[in-house]
């Protein structure tokens, strides 16, 4: 009898352990990955969750029984798997992680050669089908497992994005959320002119201070408090597998990821005038204006790492950013990193001689935004139809690139169904009119409450 595996999602695997994901399922996923992609070599790693090492071992057995050689780089961040796959020239990479999900969850993220993502559109459903059937032929050769430490090469790659001798001394609060970022920060600190203030630094899969998800407002207070207590220059917080990073200015204010996309776009356009920049459709005006003013080309992509990476590669863009704090870099194998962004921001602060607040305040005033608001809606399709009917006659433009986007003279919004959670996400922005932005946000939330 075929066992349905509901831990497979659009981009990756996420499931509760052991009900949805366990050692048996992980082994079958390894066999299926090997059977579908037929890799000769695969690099694997795992995050700090209590079940990650066990799942990684079972996954590795499945890969080797499928004929692939496996290199285990140990506890790491997701971006280290992207790095290792391309740096070593391997045929694939798998990270065992559930990022910011609750402690009783785990999951996996997959790439193939060149750190190309494997998602529902590019092989994940085929792997799911094979894992569910669990009917595998005996391979001609048994693969082997070895272990490698690539941290030195990984750190060198990170530092290649900045000129270290031009960085200025800064006091930085780093909140790893008891996830995996702390180990990388410890290795970087001696190489940089920064004083690091550590918050929730030690990796702990019990998550004693809550799941590492700085998108949740209740998780931001410790970072803000440490910035104010230590009179720090800025703060940075990460999710569990640190492929996303979040910024706080010297006043402890959380900076929406939207404004970091524009800031990082400016960094690359300063270095490469006319470069292409990829952005998601949720909030767009600030990024588009910055890119246009610098003579670059802004390219809109659907939300999600698989789509963003595809756009970057297809258009040979230098950088892509999502307001959810995923930042993608051509020179990081077209992959996302949670370490490269903060290094670039500190370099920009040094080059401009400005604080983070000074770098973003003008843009926040020019394009005030609601930040992403999530609501669980019983009938999301009906909500989208009702919203379109309410606003379509007054809209200058209507897009369906990713959910429903509507643009008016002085404001715009995007309303979309999440690809990873059972929620609808709303984003609203205006042209220099915070009161209008708040008014329209309240109006749309009222409409959502009636759905």
Render each residue's pLDDT in the chain as its tens digit; 451 residues.
578 999 999 889 999 999 999 999 999 999 999 999 999 999 999 999 999 999 999 999 999 999 999 999 999 999 999 999 999 999 999 999 999 999 999 999 999 999 999 999 899 999 999 999 999 998 889 999 999 999 999 999 999 999 999 999 999 999 999 999 999 999 999 999 999 999 999 999 999 999 999 999 999 999 999 999 999 999 999 999 999 999 999 999 999 999 999 999 999 999 999 999 999 999 999 999 999 999 999 999 999 898 999 999 999 999 999 999 999 999 999 999 999 999 999 999 999 999 999 999 999 999 999 999 999 998 898 999 999 999 999 999 999 989 999 999 999 999 998 876 778 999 999 999 999 999 999 999 999 998 7
**Is position 99 annotated as part of the catalytic site?**
yes
DSSP 16-77: ETTTT--HHHHHHHHHHHHHHH--SEEEEEE-SSTTHHHHHHHHHHHHHHTT-EEEEEEE--
Distance CA 94, CA 445 (A): 39
DSSP 314-332: HHT-SEEE-TTS-EEEGGG
Taking the alpha carbons at both ends of the chain, their separation in whole angstroms is 40
Last residue of a domain, one of 254, 282, 310: 254
Distance CA 207, CA 203 (A): 8
271 belongs to a structural domain: yes
**Residue 65: exposed, middle, or buried by beta-carbon count in 10 A (0-12, 13-18, 19+)?**
middle
List the beta bridge partners of residue 424: 375, 417
- 369 DSSP assignment: B
CATH number of the domain residue 289 falls in: 3.40.120.10
158 belongs to a structural domain: no
Say whether both 347 and 380 belong to one domain. no
Say whether both 46 and 105 belong to one domain. yes
76 belongs to a structural domain: yes
Distance CA 320, CA 326 (A): 8
156 belongs to a structural domain: no
Say whether both 85 and 108 belong to one domain. yes
Distance CA 100, CA 276 (A): 30
Would you state the structure tokens that stand for residue 251, as one six-digit string?
A: 């006043």
- Per-residue model confidence (pLDDT) at position 401: 85
Last residue of a domain, one of 228, 254, 280: 254
166 belongs to a structural domain: no
Say whether both 239 and 273 belong to one domain. no
Distance CA 14, CA 101 (A): 8
182 belongs to a structural domain: yes
CB 341 within 8 A of CB 264: yes
Question: In sequence order, what are the residues at sequence separation of 6 or more whose Cβ sits closer than 8 angstroms to the Cβ of residue 253?
Answer: 224, 357
Distance CA 349, CA 162 (A): 12
Catalytic residue among 41, 52, 99, 405: 99
165 belongs to a structural domain: no
Say whether both 336 and 356 belong to one domain. yes
Say whether both 297 and 230 belong to one domain. no
**Residue 206: exposed, middle, or buried by beta-carbon count in 10 A (0-12, 13-18, 19+)?**
exposed
Distance CA 412, CA 406 (A): 6
Distance CA 36, CA 34 (A): 6
Alpha carbon distances (Å) from 304 to 32, 127, 247, 310, 419: 24, 20, 21, 10, 8
Provide the residue range defining the domain that includes 89: 13-150
Say whether both 137 and 18 belong to one domain. yes
CB 226 within 8 A of CB 209: no
- Report field, pTM of the whole predicted structure over 0.75: yes
Q: What is the domain count for the chain? A: 4
CATH number of the domain residue 411 falls in: 3.30.310.50
Say whether both 145 and 220 belong to one domain. no
Would you state the structure tokens that stand for residue 87, as one six-digit string?
A: 């740096």
Distance CA 113, CA 92 (A): 5
């Amino acid at each position: 009898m075929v066992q349905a595996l509901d831990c497979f999602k659009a981009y990756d695997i996420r499931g509760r352990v052991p009900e949805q994901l366990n050692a048996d399922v992980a082994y079958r996923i390894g066999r299926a990955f090997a059977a579908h992609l037929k890799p000769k070599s695969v690099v694997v790693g795992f995050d700090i969750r209590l079940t990650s090492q066990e799942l990684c071992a079972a996954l590795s057995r499945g890969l080797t029984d499928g004929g692939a050689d496996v290199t285990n780089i140990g506890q790491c961040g997701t971006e280290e798997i992207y790095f290792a796959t391309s740096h070593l020239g391997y045929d694939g990479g798998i990270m065992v992680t559930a990022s910011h999900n609750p402690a009783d969850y785990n999951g996996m993220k997959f790439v193939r050669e060149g750190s190309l993502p494997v998602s529902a559109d590019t092989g994940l459903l085929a792997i799911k089908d094979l894992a569910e059937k669990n009917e595998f032929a005996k391979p001609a050769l048994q693969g082997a497992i070895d272990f490698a430490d690539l941290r030195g090469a990984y750190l060198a790659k990170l530092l290649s994005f900045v000129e270290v001798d031009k960085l200025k001394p800064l006091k930085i609060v780093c909140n790893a959320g008891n996830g995996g970022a702390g180990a990388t920060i410890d290795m970087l600190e001696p190489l940089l002119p920064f004083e690091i203030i550590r918050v929730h630094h030690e990796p702990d899969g019990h998550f004693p201070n809550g799941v590492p998800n700085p998108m949740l407002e209740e998780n931001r207070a410790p970072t803000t408090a440490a910035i104010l207590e230590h009179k720090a220059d800025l703060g940075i917080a990460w999710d569990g597998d640190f492929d996303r990073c979040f910024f706080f200015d010297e006043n402890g204010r959380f900076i929406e990821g939207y404004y970091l996309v524009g800031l990082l776009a400016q960094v690359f356009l300063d270095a490469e005038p006319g470069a292409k920049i990829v952005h998601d459709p949720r909030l767009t005006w600030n990024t588009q204006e910055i890119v246009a003013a610098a003579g670059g080309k802004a390219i809109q992509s659907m939300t999600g790492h698989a789509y963003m990476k595809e756009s970057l590669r297809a258009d040979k863009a230098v950088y892509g950013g999502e307001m959810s704090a995923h930042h993608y870099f051509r020179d990081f194998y077209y992959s996302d990193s949670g370490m490269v962004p903060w290094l670039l921001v500190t370099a920009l602060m040094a080059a401009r001689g400005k604080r983070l607040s000074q770098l973003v305040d003008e843009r926040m005033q020019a394009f005030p935004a609601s930040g992403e608001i999530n609501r669980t809606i019983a009938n999301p399709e009906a909500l989208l139809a009702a919203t379109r009917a309410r606003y379509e006659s007054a809209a200058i433009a209507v897009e369906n690139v990713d959910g429903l986007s509507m643009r008016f003279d002085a404001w715009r919004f995007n309303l979309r169904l999440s690809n990873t959670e059972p929620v609808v996400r709303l984003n609203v922005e205006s042209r220099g009119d915070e009161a209008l932005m708040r008014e329209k946000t309240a109006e749309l939330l009222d409409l959502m409450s009636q759905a």
